[in-house]
Structure 1
Amino acid sequence: MYRGFNLKITEDLEQRYLISGYTVFKYLKDKAIESLDNFFLKNGSLDGNKIMESWFPNVPSHIFLSHSHKDIEKAILIAGMLYENFKIITFIDSIVWSYCNDLLKQIDDNYSLNDDKLHYSYERRNYTTAHVHLMLSTALNKMIDSSESVFFLNSPNSISTETEISQKTNSPWIFSEISTTQIIRKQTPERLKPQTKLFKALDLNESQRSSLTIEYDLELSHLRDINSNEFNIWIQNQTENAEEALDLLYNQFPLKPKFLI
């Protein structure tokens, strides 16, 4: 990861970009395998590494887009816009890895059912859920690390408080992803190294019972704000080269002096 941006798009986006958005995700999702076949070791255990490689593969992308599942259509539209205009590949985990629960059900149907074959064991379900969610969390961290930029789609669906000073989220996945962007290694692209100085930390998902609400403090100060007007200025640039488009974005929002050593 090189840069992070806090994307605040309040206006409606053109629906025509949905087709391009879904085309990108079909390409990415086709790289995954949705089966437990061939994942058994000789001792009868499941091979966790092979499951991660097949179900949650690290796929090539320029941008990792963190978002609320309620904003999935807007996320897909943004991905479609970026691909049509710049050939930028945007990774959205809820599309590519949306079958996380399918994997969990396959495992639970094999290992967590009680003798009556009608109900799951609470203890075994906790164990399998921990495994699958940690696999997904690890895969997400790797995708954030390998993507050049991270966009956070900031909306009322992803932020549970409206004040800029103290922002919170109800999503443990958003909390995890944004926290990762704070501590992940910062990697300058090779094409930018001759003109970039070293810098410190940049300024740069979930069903639940109605009686249970958990909030997490969401630290966004390291993400550079982009409003709708600024986003449109960038998207109107004439280039179909993803790296050149990203360079234009970095030039539009240069690193501030306080982040330079």
Structure 2
Amino acid sequence: MHRGFELFIDKTAFEKSYYDLAIEAGKKRYDNAKVNIRSTLDSFISKNGKLDGSKMQANWFPQVSADIFISHSHQDEDLAILLSEYFHQTFGLTVFIDSCIWGYANDLLKLIDDEYCLNSSGETYNYTKRNYSTSHIHMMLSTALTMMIDKSECVLFLNTPNSITPNEVITKTKSPWIYSEIAMTSLVRQKPLNEYRVKKITESFSEGGEIRKGLDFEYAINTDHLTSISKDILLRWKKEWDYEGKKYTPDYSKHALDILYSITSKNNRYEYFEK
């Protein structure tokens, strides 16, 4: 990761006609790129009869190349897809959205649980075995997400009421995945730009299925290390990209993210954002 941003935006920032078309185009693009997940566990069983966790992670959560990693609530998947399509169409950038390119962790967990964790009745799961399987699958996903954050040049946290508990003095989230992703953005090494801009490809998942009523967690998260941006910055970014692109075409070589970094740098800031 080179830079991280906290984006405050909702679907009203875009025209309704564009919103629908962009989501449709984005979903179609990701459907074409989505990993073809194997439906059986046979290929992951090693010679000693044990499941090969490394092979399983590589198959279900493969590392891909992307310019931007979007951290978002599962409820904001359409908004994340909209933004990814906007960035793709406007700046030629590729965006990682895990649910759009990886297999769902819950689907993999169900395969394993049905094969290894059912009680003899076939109607319930063994509590101990299921805890064991869940810990392994969630660790695979968490590791893969951390690797993608480290591999992506830019991380964008989509801050909405679905991801952050509103009206809290201490910022909190109920999503363990958002908590993990934001924590990782403050821990992974910040790499120079020359380590990026060689490869490319596509996108995310955020938090999985419903949690049963009564089982409710929340995590305090710190986003102070992320640069806050909003719709105004996206508009300025597009305007300056259009200007630079026309100015230097056809030998234009500047990267779109350079403009975003420039207009949000400490030396080039003005009062462009209010929380």
TM bracket, shorter-chain basis = 0.7 to 0.9
Q: Kindly report which structure 2 residues correspond to 1:1-261, keeping only aligned pairs within 5 A, or say none.
A: 1-10=1-10, 11-13=12-14, 14-15=18-19, 16-30=21-35, 32-163=37-168, 165-190=169-194, 205=207, 206-236=209-239, 237-238=241-242, 239=245, 244-255=255-266
Is the 8 Å Cα contact of residues 37 and 103 (structure 2) preserved in structure 1? no
CA RMSD of aligned residues (A): 2.3
Q: Structure 2 regions of 5+ residues with no counterpart?
A: 197-206, 269-275
Counterpart-to-counterpart distance in 2, 1:26 and 1:247: 29
Specify whether residues 98 and 44 from structure 1 end up closer, same or farther in structure 2 by C-alpha distance, changes over 3 A only: closer
Specify whether residues 96 and 162 from structure 1 end up closer, same or farther in structure 2 by C-alpha distance, changes over 3 A only: farther
Query: Aligned to 2:42, what secondary structure does the other structure show?
Result: coil
Query: What corresponds to 2:204 in structure 1?
Result: none
Counterpart-to-counterpart distance in 2, 1:256 and 1:168: 30
Deviation at residue 32 of structure 1 after TM alignment: 5.0
**Poorly superposed stretches of 4+, deviation over 6 Å:** 240-243
Deviation at residue 247 of structure 1 after TM alignment: 0.8
Counterpart-to-counterpart distance in 1, 2:67 and 2:127: 40
Deviation at residue 56 of structure 1 after TM alignment: 0.2
Specify whether residues 123 and 3 from structure 1 end up closer, same or farther in structure 2 by C-alpha distance, changes over 3 A only: same
- Render the CA deviation track for 1:162-214: whole Å, top value 9, x for unaligned: 35x5211011100000000000011011189xxxxxxxxxxxx2522222321
Q: Structure 1 regions of 5+ residues with no counterpart?
A: 193-204
Counterpart-to-counterpart distance in 1, 2:54 and 2:216: 33
Counterpart-to-counterpart distance in 2, 1:155 and 1:83: 22
Query: Aligned to 1:38, what secondary structure does the other structure show?
Result: helix
Query: What is the one-letter code of the residue matched to 1:17?
Result: A
Structure 1 range deviating more: 53-62 or 86-95: 86-95
Counterpart-to-counterpart distance in 2, 1:43 and 1:185: 37
